[in-house]
Amino acid sequence: MSMILRLALAGVLLGTAAQAAEPAKKGVEIDACKLLSDKDVSAAIGLPVDPGVRSDAGYTEANAYSSTCLWAVSADKDVKKPNLPLGGKRFAILNVQSWPPGNGAGKSFVRAFKAAGEQHLIKNKPEDVKIGDEAVWWGSGVAVYKGDYSFGMSVHLIDGPERQRGMEEALSRQIVTRLPK
C-alpha cells in the first residue's frame, strides 16, 4: 500500500469520529484520471506516459469517495526491479478523495501528513505549500485540501525528490482548478 494511501486512510479515520453524529452524507464519486490528462502529466515530467490507469477504493468509513490514477512512463515497460516501487518504473500517481459536502473533513488528510512528520513516520518534515485551502509537500509528494476534496500527487522518477517537487506542485495546481464545484 502506498504511503499516500496509508496516510489518507489515517486521515479518514481521524475524521470518522467527528462525523459519527451527522446523517450519512456521502462525497460524490470522482474519477482521478479525469483531473489530469496524459498530456498534462507528460508535459510536467518531461517524458511520455501510458494512459492513466484508474483504481478506485470507493467509499470509505467516513463516506468519502477515493479514486486513484497511475501514469507509468512509457519507456519503462520492460523494467523489472521488484525491490523498487512499481517494479522500478517511473510514474506519477494521484489519489483524490471527495468528502461529504460542507463538513471540512478533507483537512484531516493534510493534517495526517503533518502529524506523520512530527512523529518521524515519514523521512521529511512536511513543508507548507500555497495550493488549495491547505497543502504540504512531504518529501514524496504534495497533499492538498480544497473545499470538499483532498488529494495526494506524487511523481517518482528515481532521481530525487527536489526535482520531482516542482512537478508535483505544478500538477497539483492544475488539479485544484479542475475539481468539481
The pLDDT, as a whole number, for residue 84 is: 86
Q: How far is CA 138 from CA 58, 79, 113, 143, in A?
A: 25, 27, 7, 8
Mean pLDDT of the chain: 88
The pLDDT, as a whole number, for residue 14 is: 46
5: pLDDT strictly greater than 80: no
Cα separation of 85 and 81, whole Å? 8
Q: Report DSSP state, residue 85.
A: G
Q: Report DSSP state, residue 70.
A: E
The pLDDT, as a whole number, for residue 76 is: 93
Dihedral sign of CA atoms 147, 168, 155, 7 in order: negative
20: pLDDT strictly greater than 50: no
pLDDT band at 10 (very low <50, low <70, confident <90, very high): low
Average confidence (pLDDT) over 72-84: 92
Average confidence (pLDDT) over 79-89: 90
The pLDDT, as a whole number, for residue 13 is: 46
Say if CB 14 and CB 111 are below 8 A apart.
yes
Cα separation of 73 and 169, whole Å? 19
The pLDDT, as a whole number, for residue 2 is: 54
Q: Judging by beta carbons within 10 Å of its beta carbon (0-12, 13-18, 19+), is residue 5 exposed, middle or buried?
A: middle
Q: Which CATH architecture has domain 3-10+26-178?
A: 3-Layer(aba) Sandwich (3.40)
The pLDDT, as a whole number, for residue 111 is: 92
Per-residue pLDDT tens for 138-170? 989 999 999 999 999 999 997 777 789 999 999
Burial code (b: 16+ CB inside 10 Å, e: under 16) for 85-108 equals: bbeebbbbbbbbbbbbeebebbbb
The pLDDT, as a whole number, for residue 40 is: 98
175: pLDDT strictly greater than 70: yes
pTM given for the model: 0.85
The pLDDT, as a whole number, for residue 25 is: 87
